[in-house]
Structure 1
């Protein structure tokens, strides 16, 4: 059995919103050949597709709206890709925002986002981020009693009433209670113990009455974020039903009926780069996850006699993942002792989750897509470390100047980049209305050292021996 060509591999991995194709043996990204993009904008190069971002936003919104009887709002999780052009595109298409830091909140504000649909998360919020959120009308997710006290004081000083959600967490008791719905819940016990965010129902029951009585605070609902722990549908149905039951229990204890429930993010994608267990292609669609989550949450709320509130969701990776491709150029190709190494000018500086989260990117021979693989190669980056992008990869004959492409580089790539070995970070272009435009310029060596300072006289200073 022969290995698949790049074109055959791509065709087997395409998802409904991808804008990838092959023309004349070359990868085409949203209407533009890889080689032409590199020739015009330099290498390596992040290429984003505005159309894919918007298609993904609309798709996940529809997946939940179709199964939820009240309004559904999508709050884009900027942590996955914080390009200002991306955030502006999300704002223009009706997405609110999930921000964690003062920087993420600033980016969300400056790009015209509807601040009534923006939340600020974090287990240790600074006074600065709370103050900015209060001034601009963002919703603050309370993670502890101290959040309530500090936000109240800041809101009073600002002369406004702060909108807030109480962030909930599931506990081992919830896991035990839900084991019939989701027998594999036992695998999550360590996560439930170690995760620092959110409040148990018991702790929330102590805070909610205090918040309701505080004239500086307006409690509108609850927040929850389980994150990406599994792609099993039963897992999502379990936590959704458990969350609904918890809200019902809190209604009994406090009398509070939420106007909003925010279920956070972590929704799996179909081409699974980030949590590769079994087959790369996830057999489930976002429509199936949306239906399962809504069904479970409605069931849990109904059990507790809680009216169905507005639903907020905070997707990041689902929207940004396949919206970006990283293009790179082949340099030295070396063979020795039965192994071949293909060096490229990108590195784990640009895709750090290869190293710290074991992401498995699809790597394509962008300018040799129709050629049959004949070699087994190790693809490595331009750093002094030995980290591999891919090992023992079936690849066609490759030489200096060829282009390669890493799919699904729209998420957790640019935001996590560093400058190890003093390597400047690449440019980013976005294909907008059919044309590629620069949305982040390529760094220079001056940029790498821009924040450094050498004290006066240090160059001529010699420390005496002790």
Structure 2
């Protein structure tokens, strides 16, 4: 494959990809991943600066083409908390969606425009809110009693707090299954049981209290439902209900006009891996599948294992879904629908800022994860199966584990070799540690380099130290340059928070333990 051609089995015409293959090796921008792994070690997270810059520019252009006022791109910092990536986004004029006090500190360590920082999440402490008011960031209110707390802390400082209300519209029109669950439940139910957002029954009174509060400026409305579905149908359905609810609230608030409307995020990355493992898992877990498997055991081990021999390849096979719509298509549908509903409610959008908070679609395709093959294990009985053990783990890819992501994968030093074997790509923790089930691979050997694509969002930021494994480094690539932007942990780092009480450090005699009964 040549420069700019997407790898990993997706045909995305016109898509500007930081990945390419040259002479059988996978490249990130102008650097060979084989050389990156040799230089920095594995496992390793790799980020592309050009992809990240291109993504934020594309989002801004796509939504600005549809909206008559200013557009703010406010990427979700939780998706990738490396300060280098945050600095890139700040340089590009992007704001930020933050959740925790720690995330806020990370974002504010760059010269970001405070007015373009949205502090989301429920249960904010008094201290956290006071810090938000002092810094002049936007406070996205989620709790029913938060208005009074914000007013109190703002009054103490003699400042005005800028707030938005995060609404949770009822969306019975969104009936398709949500991608956030292995259970087959409709999106509208998933939205209702999710903790975030203010139920409609409280919104009118909360808005009136906010408008009447002397130290509060209610500047806008906010909605965010995440990546429930990759279709344009989802965005048309969500924006129709959000726009209608916004119109009703504005009418109830006696002509109040928003300065900002934030529609959140939830767009997929082009090779979106979210929930791609579900079809295989659902079969085994359904009420139909389990009795079938259990019933076969009554026919004897030989029959049972012959049946598994036929069944396992079916469960291990995989077809990727079609590529999702483009950002331009999402922008057109979402903005057109929102404007239609607001105009129907006689709400003017002149000069109103449209804000978006992409996460996975901002960072996902800017990152890959590199891992070495440690060993290969194969069995022939009671049915054939193979495992390729790597030096990484799902605990370094926890976001993908929770979201049942199936990462597209390339053997980076054999990128143009044909598929010759099917095996589970597994990690080296003591869990089952299944990274990719039924991966189609060339014949691999210990030392080969596996690249997991689209791991730039939610993976490194959710990594943990299970089995006392030290978390990997992150390297930022820019053209033919590579820099460590988050160093690898050491074993000393893993145990650096531990303290052993002095009473446990002395001799048995010093603890009063003589060994006598």
CA spacing shift, 1:142–1:354, aligned 2, 3 Å: closer
CA spacing shift, 1:465–1:341, aligned 2, 3 Å: farther
| Residue number in structure 2 paired with 1:299 | 340
Equivalent of residue 417 in structure 2, options 366, 371, 377: 371
Secondary structure of residue in 2 paired with 1:170 = coil
Secondary structure of residue in 1 paired with 2:218 = strand
| Residue number in structure 2 paired with 1:312 | 355
Secondary structure of residue in 2 paired with 1:349 = helix
Instruction: Tell me, in whole angstroms, the C-alpha distance in 2 between the residues paired with 1:267 and 1:366.
Output: 28
CA spacing shift, 1:457–1:183, aligned 2, 3 Å: closer
Matches within 5 A, 1:99-110: 99-110=98-109
Secondary structure of residue in 2 paired with 1:198 = coil
| Residue number in structure 2 paired with 1:3 | none
| Residue number in structure 2 paired with 1:325 | 368
Per the TM alignment, residue 30 of structure 1 is displaced from its structure 2 partner at its CA by 1.3
Instruction: Tell me, in whole angstroms, the C-alpha distance in 1 between the residues paired with 2:142 and 2:437.
Output: 42
Q: Deviations over 1:288-318 (max 9, x none)?
A: 1100000110011011110112211111111
Question: Is 1:126 matched with 2:158?
Answer: no
Is the deviation greater in 153-162 or in 7-16? 7-16
- Contact (CA 8 Å) 1:47, 1:429: kept in 2 or not? yes
Instruction: Tell me, in whole angstroms, the C-alpha distance in 1 between the residues paired with 2:516 and 2:46.
Output: 53
CA spacing shift, 1:291–1:390, aligned 2, 3 Å: same
Matches within 5 A, 1:2-81: 10=8, 12-13=10-11, 16-81=15-80
| Residue number in structure 1 paired with 2:429 | 383
- Contact (CA 8 Å) 1:13, 1:271: kept in 2 or not? no
Per the TM alignment, residue 446 of structure 1 is displaced from its structure 2 partner at its CA by 0.2
Per the TM alignment, residue 61 of structure 1 is displaced from its structure 2 partner at its CA by 1.2
Equivalent of residue 469 in structure 2, options 423, 428, 433: 423
TM-score normalised by structure 2 residue count? 0.84
Question: Is 1:267 matched with 2:310?
Answer: no
- Contact (CA 8 Å) 2:144, 2:198: kept in 1 or not? no
Equivalent of residue 405 in structure 1, options 447, 451, 470: 451
Matches within 5 A, 1:434-445: 434-445=480-491
Question: Is 1:395 matched with 2:441?
Answer: yes
Unaligned 5+ segments in structure 1 are 1-6
Instruction: Tell me, in whole angstroms, the C-alpha distance in 2 between the residues paired with 1:313 and 1:339.
Output: 45
Per the TM alignment, residue 188 of structure 1 is displaced from its structure 2 partner at its CA by 2.1
TM-score normalised by structure 1 residue count? 0.93
| Residue number in structure 2 paired with 1:4 | none
Root mean square deviation, CA, Å = 2.1
- Contact (CA 8 Å) 1:134, 1:160: kept in 2 or not? yes
Secondary structure of residue in 2 paired with 1:269 = coil
Per the TM alignment, residue 230 of structure 1 is displaced from its structure 2 partner at its CA by 0.8
CA spacing shift, 1:465–1:358, aligned 2, 3 Å: farther
